[in-house]
Structure 1
Amino acid sequence: MIDTNTRLPAPPRDLLGGAGLFLDFDGTLVELQDRPDLVHPDAELIRLLARVGHALDGRLAIVTGRASERIVSMFGGTPFVIGGSHGVEFRWPDGRTAGPELPAGLDDVMAEMRAFAAGHEGVIVETKPYGAGLHYRMAPGAEAEAHALAERLAAAHGLHLQPGKMMVELRAGAGDKGAAIERLMGEPPFAGSRPVFLGDDVTDEDGFRAVEALGGAGILIGPERETHARYRLDDVTAVRQWLARATEAYL
C-alpha cells in the first residue's frame, strides 16, 4: 500500500509491452455523470480501444461495475472481453458468457430501492442483471440512509454489498475486479502476459492488488490517495492520451 505522502509517477510509455490490459470504465475511460444512463462512449474512444486491442493481440478487457450487456450495447458488440458487475459475470468476443444464478430476492430488493428513491429526490436506482445500485450523486444528503437500506437488504437476502463513488450496490456473488483479472489471466489470450489495470475507484483496489501479486502494475486515475497502484494519471483525458502513445510502438 502506497500512502498519500508518496507521489506516484506517471506510467512509462513502454509499460504495455507484453502486457494484458484491464480497464475500468466509468471515471477511467469516460467521465462520471450524475446519471449512469447518460454515459456513452464517443467515437474517439471506440476507435482508440480498437487500436489498443489490435496492438495487444486481443489482450484487452473492460472490468467494470456495469452489467456486461450494457457495455455491449454501448459499443455495438463485444470487441473485447468484458468482466461486468464487478467481475461476477463475463462476456467474450466469441459469444461465450458466464455468470452466477440470479438472486431469488432481487425483485423484492428492487421494489424497496425504488420506494426509497421515490421518497428521496435525486436518488436513482440502476437495474443490473445480478443486482441493483442506488446512486445518490444528486442527493448527497441521502448517503447514510442509502447505505443503511443497502446493509439491511444485503443481510436479509444474502447479497454482496459493494460501495462505490456516491453509490452503493447489491449483487449476487462475492466476486470482485481482482478475482475477475485473476480468472482472465489464467486463459487465452491473457495467459503468460503481464497484467496492467487502470481504475479510479476504491472498488478498483482489488484489481490493483491482483495485478501486483501477478507481477504487473496498477494505474490509479485521479487524485493521490492510499493505493496499491504503482502509477497514476490525472484524469480521463490523460488516460486516453497515454493509451494512444503507449500502443503506437506495437501497431
Structure 2
Amino acid sequence: MRPIGPISARDSTGAAGCNRQGWFVGIDPGDCPHNPLAYTAEHLKGRIRLPQETSKTGSGLPGLGALVRSLLAAREPLALLLDFDGTLARICDRPGDARPEPAALTALNRMSADTPIAIVSGRGLDDLQTLIAIPRATFFGSHGQEARFPGGQTINPFGESAPELGQLRGRIAAVAREFAGSWIEEKPQALVLHYRNLRDQGKLPDLRRRIQILAGEFPELSMMAGRKVFEFVPAAAPGKGGAVQWYLDRLDPGGNAPRIPVYFGDDVSDEGAFAAVDPLGIGVLVARRTRPTAAGYRLSGVNEVAAALTLLARWNAR
C-alpha cells in the first residue's frame, strides 16, 4: 500500500492541512503524525473534514478540502472531465505558450488506466493534443465539435463546420486590424478574436459594439464572450455541455457500470458542462473570484486542481 506523500497546496481556509509540515490538505492539525509518510489511504479516509461555514470560499462554495473528501467518499467509480486553459494550464497571453501543470498531468496519466478521462477544450483538436499527452484519454476540441478517442479515431460528433465562418473571416480580421493588440485565431470550427493585449483598453466598449454588430449579421453563428476573447461558432454547436452529455451517454450505454462524472472548468463556456453532470455528478469551478455558476465546488486555480488530482491518484493507487 502506498503512503500519501507531501502536498504543498492549501485548502480554502488558506492554512495547510498539517500545520507543522503542510503534508495533507484538510487534515486536522492535531492528527499530524511524527512521520507524515505513515499516512496511508485508509488512515486518511474519514479524516478529511469539510471547511466550516465561515471558511468557505468567497462564492459560498466549498473548496479544496471539501472536494477531496467528496471524491474519496464516492460510492461509485469516477469519470474525470476537464477543461484545459485556466484549469490544467495557466492562461497565457499567447495560447501556444500554455502548458499543463506537471503534477496534474502525472496524476491524470496514472489514473487513466482504470478511470475514464476526457479533456474538453475550446481549442482546436490538433492544437490541444500538441500541448497535453494522455494516451488513454478522449479529447474534445472546438467546444466539443471535434472528438478523438484513445485509439486515434477522430470524428465530428455534431456535423461539419458552418460555411458562414469563412464569410466572417475577412470581416473580423478587419476589426482586429482596427483595434491594435487584438488578433484573430482560426480554429477548425470557430473564429476567435483575442483582446487580452489590446493596447488601448479604453476602446474595449467600442470593440464589444463592433463584435455585437457582426454577431447580428451572422445569425447562423453564435458569439461566445470568454476570458478576453470573442468566439464565433456554428449556432447549432452544442457547446461543452452537449459534448459532455454525448460522452457520458456513450461511456455506459447499458447503464450497468455507472460512474460519477466530475467536471473541472474555469470559463463561462464550461457552465453547460457543469449543468450536464448535475445532479448525479460534481461540477468544480476553477476561479480566483466569485461569479454565478452551476458548479458545486470552487478551486482557486490550477495549483489546487493539480493538488486535488494528485491526492485522488494516490488514493486510487492504494
TM range (shorter): 0.7 to 0.9
Structure 1 unaligned spans of 5+: none
* Contact 1:178/1:206 (8 A) holds in 2: yes
Query: Which residue among 221, 233, 237 is the counterpart of 1:171?
Result: 233
Which of 68, 72, 75 is the equivalent residue of 1:12? 68
Check conservation: 1:68, 1:83, Cα contact below 8 A. Answer: yes
Give the secondary structure class of the aligned counterpart of 1:182.
helix
Deviation (angstroms), 1:221: 0.9
Q: How does 1:227-246 map to 2 (within 5 A)?
A: 227-246=293-312
Out of 237, 249, 258, the residue aligned to residue 186 of structure 1 is: 249
1: CA distance between counterparts of 2:248 and 2:278? 13
Shift in Å, 1:12: 2.3
**1:67 aligns to 2:124 (yes or no):** yes
Match for residue 221 of structure 1? 286
- Quick one: distance in 2 between partners of 1:217 and 1:193? 11
Structure-1 separation of matches of 2:192 and 2:169: 9
Q: Is the 8 A contact 2:104 2:305 kept in 1?
A: no
Residues 5/156 of structure 1: CA separation in 2 closer, same or farther (3 Å cut) = closer
TM-score with structure 1 length normalisation?
Answer: 0.87
Q: Say if 1:36 and 1:101 are closer, same or farther in 2 by CA, change over 3 A.
A: same
User: Among 97, 108, 111, which residue is 1:49 paired with?
Assistant: 108
Q: Which runs of 5+ in 2 are unaligned?
A: 1-57
Contact 2:87–2:266 at 8 Å: present in 1 too?
Answer: yes
Task: Give the Cα–Cα distance (whole angstroms) in 2 for the partners of residues 218 and 76 of structure 1.
Answer: 23
Q: Deviation digits for residues 8-55 of structure 1, max 9, x if unmatched?
A: 33312451651111101111111111221221336554433211323x
Structure whose alpha-carbon radius of gyration is higher: 2
Equivalent in 217, 221, 242 of residue 159 of structure 1: 221
Tell me which moved more, 79-88 or 189-198. Answer: 189-198
- Count of residue pairs the alignment pairs up: 246
Which has the larger share of strand?
A: 1
Q: Residue 271 of structure 2 aligns with which residue?
A: 205
Alpha-carbon displacement from aligned partner over 1:132-154 (angstroms, at most 9, x marks no partner) = 10111111444334433433333
CA RMSD of aligned residues (A): 2.4
Q: 1:147-179: per-residue Cα shift (whole Å, max 9, x none)?
A: 334333334331121110111100123311111
1:97-176 equivalence runs, <5 A: 97-99=154-156, 100-139=159-198, 140-157=201-218, 158-172=220-234, 173-176=236-239
Alpha-carbon distance in structure 2 between the residues aligned to 1:73 and 1:189 = 29
Whole-Å Cα distance in 2 between the matches of residues 90 and 155 of structure 1?
A: 29
Counterpart pick for 2:146 among 89, 92, 110? 89
The residue number in structure 1 matching 2:137 is 80
In structure 2, relative to structure 1, the CA distance for the partners of 1:90 and 1:147 (3 Å cut) is farther
Query: Which amino acid is 1:216 matched to?
Result: G
* Residues 78 and 91 in structure 1, CA contact (< 8 A), matched pair in contact too: no
Following superposition, the deviation at residue 129 of structure 1 comes to 0.2
Q: Please give the per-residue CA displacement for 1:44-87, whole angstroms capped at 9, x wherever unaligned.
A: 54433211323xx2410011111111112223575411121112
DSSP 3-state at the match of 1:29: coil
Q: Is the 8 A contact 2:191 2:232 kept in 1?
A: yes
Aligned mates of 1:246, 1:134 — CA distance in 2: 37
Q: Distance in 1 between matches of 2:298 and 2:312?
A: 15
Flag the 1:51–1:77 CA change in 2: closer, same or farther, 3 A.
Answer: closer
Aligned partners of 2:310 and 2:96: how far apart in 1?
27
Runs of 4+ in 1 over 6 A off after TM superposition: none
**TM-score normalized by the length of structure 2:** 0.70
Asked if 2 retains the 8 angstrom alpha-carbon contact of 1:59 and 1:189, the reply is no
Alignment check: 8 A CA contact 2:86 2:266 kept = yes
> Identical aligned pairs, as a percentage?
31
Are 1:196 and 2:255 counterparts? no
